Amino acid sequence: MRPLALLLCVLGCAEWRMPPTFPERAAGRPVVHEQALLGLSPLGDAAVAELVEADGAEPHLELRIFAGLASLGTQYATPHASAVGTASCVLCPPTLLVASIDRARIVAQKLRSVAGRPQPVLAAIVAVEWPEAMLRAAQLGYAPRLPAEPEPGSGLWHIRGAAGAGALPLALRVSPMADPPALLLLLSDGLGGDGIELARVLMTGDVVGPQLFLQDGVAWLLAGSVRADPLRRTVGLHRALLARGEAQLHNAHGLEDYAAGELDAARREFGRSIAADPSYVDGLYNAAAVAALTDPEEAVSLLARAAAVDPARVQVLGRHDEDFKSLRRRPDVGALLGLRRPPPEGIPPPP
């Protein structure tokens, strides 16, 4: 046992002597990650300035493009606050321009001098200290845009729903959540309920913002948090697709109507869900499930559309759905639901 004990001691000493993963020079230093919307394209893409100063490293400032609509190609995940107040992204948007280190230092210093303010400040600083970014964004078709103003006294941003779904009046609002602390961007139609969550911004300190920018069915929520001593400031953009939110809203109403036995009302709401966002698989699937009770061919057509969007989701939802009981033995339906053979009769699904 002695050789093993000696080896463990050596390994333990080696681990003890390793340099810390968090740089010592970062102790007590500011952590700043702020984004600013410099312009929007006609399709809702965003030109974004991003400043990062963390871990005691030199500040980094760059101009990036965030995709607005999922249908335009690659989707980019917007940065989100982590437990320590920094931000990260899964797939990083393309970089158009990188500021010099001297320019980044100037911008970082000015931001730190006003970092306690509860409003986003990077856009105003960039406009003065890094005008090249504003010019480059404008040259590429990203027009400057002021935040949309909510209705006075209500805190609501009013919008119109999709024409095919009835162009119903909808409202956006930002609501705080206590556990965990966060700001929620909610979409509602005034018919009750809290609404559909479109975006969530985690809070690690006092609230910064929010600001809301609207363009061609895309909402960009700019918000974050700040705390002092040492400074931790994270302000980021969070994308919300209004068509998807509207589709989810109608789908939720349809499920309520279905549970109450109001099949005609449920069919109408699922139809509105599809009209708002034809790629929303839950709206397509639920419309198919209701149609299966009265119109088998329409049900199969809708189910095929849903499976074309997300076959795995359709198989999970439909494998034991009683609404499709009379159709499961059809080969085309069995294939859509991923059934190699018809399910046995009279045997309940596994828990």
Kindly report, residue by residue over 290-334, the tens digit of the pLDDT.
999 999 999 999 999 999 999 999 999 988 899 998 898 899 999
Statement: residue 75 has pLDDT above 60: no
Span 57-69, pLDDT tens digits: 999 999 999 998 6
Beta bridge partners of 159: 170
Looking at the chain, list the stretches that DSSP marks H as alpha helix, in order from N- to C-terminal side: 2-17, 101-113, 122-129, 131-139, 242-259, 263-276, 281-291, 296-309, 311-318, 331-336
- Taking the C-alpha atoms of residue 286 and residue 267, their distance in angstroms, rounded to an integer, is 9
Q: Cβ(222)–Cβ(120) under 8 Å?
A: yes
H helix or E strand, kind and range, residue 183: strand 182-188
Would you give the DSSP letter of residue 86?
A: -
Instruction: Give residue 343's identity as a one-letter amino acid code.
Output: P
Statement: residue 142 has pLDDT above 90: yes
In angstroms, the first-to-last Cα distance of the chain is 49
- Taking the C-alpha atoms of residue 62 and residue 48, their distance in angstroms, rounded to an integer, is 8
Backbone angles phi, psi at 349, to 5 degrees: -65, 160
Predicted TM-score (pTM) of the model is 0.81
How open is the CA angle 217-253-240, to the nearest 5 degrees? 25
